[in-house]
Chains A and B, each alone.
Chain A
Amino acid sequence: MARQVLPGFRLSTGYTLAVLGGSVLLPLAALLWTACELGPAGWWAQIATRRVLASLRLSFGAAMLAATIDVVLGLLVAWVLVRYRFAFRRLCDALVDLPFALPTAVAGIALTALYAPHGWLGSRLAPFGIDVAYTRLGVLLAMVFVGLPFVVRTLQPVLESMESDLEEAAYTLGASPSQRFFRVLLPLLAPTLLTGYALALARAIGEYGSVVFISGNRLFKTEIAPYLIVQKVDSQYDYRGAAALGAVMLAASLLLLVAMAWLQRWTRRWAVTR
């Protein structure tokens, strides 16, 4: 390795590694170690209970659905924020960060208050037979809420950099509005949309605070995987069971990270150098 010319190599890498080591690497190693100690059979025994499987199904299923909804809503919001000038645009733009910055517990109780049977929205939906609070629909709603800014913020810079000249080019070549959208924009946005999807998905799978209040944590019905981990650690002191479940969640996060790195390479291939 060549000598480094600028000063501070050892200090900066040393501090970085020390903090990373104590707060990230060591805990990560502990989780992997505990999960490995179980062995495949032990791990499966922890996972293959009705309660755990139900929670995993709900967590992953609802998160995937929520991320999909986020992609649609996020594309709409990002498009409007980038392409149109209207009153309160800046305010709307600032608001998009709300789910990102609002403490999750606060978001959780706010959503619950709104959609509870006596809540402002809940009481209006009840006559139609729609129950949101304490149902899977509530879980989905909370996940949509936390995931939205990830899609919008991922899309915005890309939409801005595309400006409208690409569409104008397509327009001069005779493409109809729907052709311009489906043939030019959507394929170009595909990697970005997928990145936004992956980010929203990662957040939704791991989300705890926003979801546990509105979900009501009903056995087999609305228990999410993070809630089970908390239960195992907090009241059952079942660290091995928690680690087994945690390993599944961690594997999902890592998989998503790899997918996002791959997506980024895909996007970069299209990056036009100025």
Chain B
Amino acid sequence: MGGDTLMAAISAIVSIGVRPSWSASVVRVVLVSAALMVLAWLLVLPLAAIFAEAFRQGWSFYLDAISQPDSMAAVRLTLTVAAIAVPLNLVFGLAAAWAMTHFTFPGKSLLGALIDLPFSVSPVVAGMMLILVYGKDGWLGSWFEAHDVQVIFALPGLVLATVFVTLPFVARELIPLMQAQGSEQEEAALTLGASGWRIFFHVTLPRVRWALLYGVLLCNARAMGEFGAVYVVSGHLPGLTNTLPLQVDQLYQENFSAAFAVASLLALLTLLTLGLKRLLEWRHGEARNGH
């Protein structure tokens, strides 16, 4: 594409909408093109690279790569971990939001800070901290060993690490929304004689369901894609404790194209998540900003 046609294409893309003064539209064209270039360079290129590398050696190679036993085992393990960690955090998010928005108690703001904490702790540090508690020489390690439960280098460790890094997702969506909605409807239900569970299922839950779904969606994406924290606690044994991201890492050392084939599965999951997220935001704007 020649420079002229490129410029024409850019100004065609950019000039849809209102037409203000000439100098303002120059600023506009420059800013929009710059932003588009940043996004293309920083975001689109890496995404394209994943699929380009994955299909470099053709479809049959691709299908072969993702249907290897180790890769399939990684898919199964990833789904298992997410199936345990996500519901756990779903309930956690609901409980935390209920506690944080309907009651006043000492230490409430500290609790709020603790709920947000995992977002700012390095996943690697999180994994290491779990080893210090649940590892062989850790605080609770000997107790678990005595009861023949392996936590680190096994499924429980993977779940714990995943729970840690995804802990704030659901709570973070729910707390601001429920705070904005206030306790009035719950109080109304209470004066009408409803029990706690009734209030929760019939009054609270229907009003926060989209925000809840949104939180679960993000929580799930992170749970399936977590690398650093899981890497530390898994021991990365192929076919046994390798989740999908760990399998990508493993394959990357051995078989470049196969690594990208498996990675493309995760990239697809990401695109699906982003698409659903957009759909939720578009259909239920109130789920994001509840006021």
A85 surroundings in chain B (CB, below 8 A): 16-18
Q: Which residues on the B side are within 8 Å of A208 (C-beta)?
A: 122-124, 227-228, 231
- In the complex, what residue of chain B is closest to A149 when comparing beta carbons? B43
**Judging by beta carbons under 8 Å apart, are A30 and B43 in contact?**
no
Interface string of A17-49 (1 = CB under 8 A from B): 101101111111011001000000000000000
Q: How large is the interface on B (under 10, 10 to 19, 20 to 34, 35 or more residues)?
A: 35 or more
* Nearest residue, chain A, Cβ from B34: A76
CB-nearest residue of chain A to B116 = A257
User: Considering the complex, which residues of chain A in the window 152-206 have a beta carbon less than 8 Å from any beta carbon of chain B?
Assistant: 157, 177, 202, 205-206
Q: Tell me if B120 and A256 are in contact (CB < 8 A).
A: yes
A94 to B44, CA, bound (A): 12
Using Cβ atoms and an 8 Å threshold, which residues of chain A touch B99? 9, 12-13, 16
Contact A27 B46 (CB under 8 A): no
Report B-chain residues with C-beta under 8 Å of the C-beta of A243: 128, 132
Secondary structure type dominating chain A contacts? helix
The digit string for B14-54, where 1 denotes a CB below 8 A from any CB of A, is: 11111000000001100110111011001111110110110
Are A109 and B35 in contact, with the CB atoms below 8 A? no
Is the pair A98, B274 in contact by a Cβ cutoff of 8 Å?
yes
User: Which chain B residue has the least Cβ–Cβ distance from A202?
Assistant: B120
Q: Contact check: which of B125, B196, B248, B263 meets A249 at CB < 8 Å?
A: B125
User: Would A20 and B114 be within 8 Å (CB), given that A7-B196, A103-B270, A145-B46 are in contact?
Assistant: yes
Is B167 close to A, CB under 8 A?
A: yes
Determine whether the beta carbon of B95 is less than 8 Å from that of A31: no
Q: Does B216 contact A (CB under 8 A)?
A: no
B209 interface contact, C-beta 8 A: no
Interfacial residues of chain B within 95-135, with CB under 8 A of chain A in the complex: 95-96, 98-99, 102-106, 111, 113-133, 135
Chain B residue, CB-CB nearest to A34: B132
B79 in the interface, Cβ–Cβ < 8 Å? no
B254 to chain A, nearest CB (A): 13
Known: A16-B96, A24-B117. A76 touches B164 (CB 8 A): no
The interface residues of chain A lying within 8 Å CB-to-CB of B7 are none
- CB neighbors of A among B162-193 (8 A): 163-164, 167, 183, 186-187, 190
Interface of B is mostly: helix
The smallest C-beta distance from A213 to any residue of chain B, in angstroms, reads 7
- CB <8 Å contact, B125 and A229: yes
Q: CB-CB < 8 A to A254: which residues of B? A: 120
Residue A148 lies at the interface, judged by CB distance under 8 Å to chain B? yes
Chain A residues whose CB sits within 8 angstroms of the CB of B246 once the complex forms: 105
CA distance A19 to B82 in the complex (A): 16
B contact residues around A125 at 8 Å (CB): none
Known interface pairs A1-B105, A113-B260; A101-B124 also in contact (CB < 8 Å): no
B288 to nearest A CB, angstroms?
Answer: 9
Q: Is A106 an interface residue (CB 8 A)?
A: yes
Task: Report the bound CA distance from A254 to B28 in whole Å.
Answer: 40
Cβ distance B199 to chain A, nearest Cβ, rounded Å: 7
| Interchain CA distance A25-B117 in the complex, whole Å | 10
Other A-B pairs, 5, CB within 8 Å; known A205-B122, A209-B231: A4-B105, A92-B36, A96-B39, A229-B232, A243-B128
**Which 10 pairs, one residue from A and one from B, show the smallest C-beta to C-beta distance?**
A206-B122, A103-B225, A7-B196, A27-B129, A208-B228, A209-B227, A85-B17, A30-B132, A80-B35, A110-B46
Q: Which residues of B contact A (CB under 8 A)?
A: 13-18, 27-28, 31-32, 34-36, 38-39, 42-47, 49-50, 52-53, 88, 91-92, 94-96, 98-99, 102-106, 111, 113-133, 135, 137-140, 160, 163-164, 167, 183, 186-187, 190, 195-196, 199-200, 218, 221-222, 224-228, 231-232, 244-246, 248-249, 252, 259-260, 263, 266-267, 270, 273-275, 277-278, 289
Listed in ascending order, the chain A residues whose CB lies under 8 Å from chain B are 1-2, 4-9, 11-13, 15-17, 19-20, 22-28, 30-31, 34, 73, 76-77, 79-81, 84-88, 90, 92, 94-99, 101-107, 109-111, 113-114, 119-121, 144-145, 148, 157, 177, 202, 205-209, 213, 226, 229-230, 233-234, 239, 242-243, 246, 249-250, 253-254, 256-257, 261
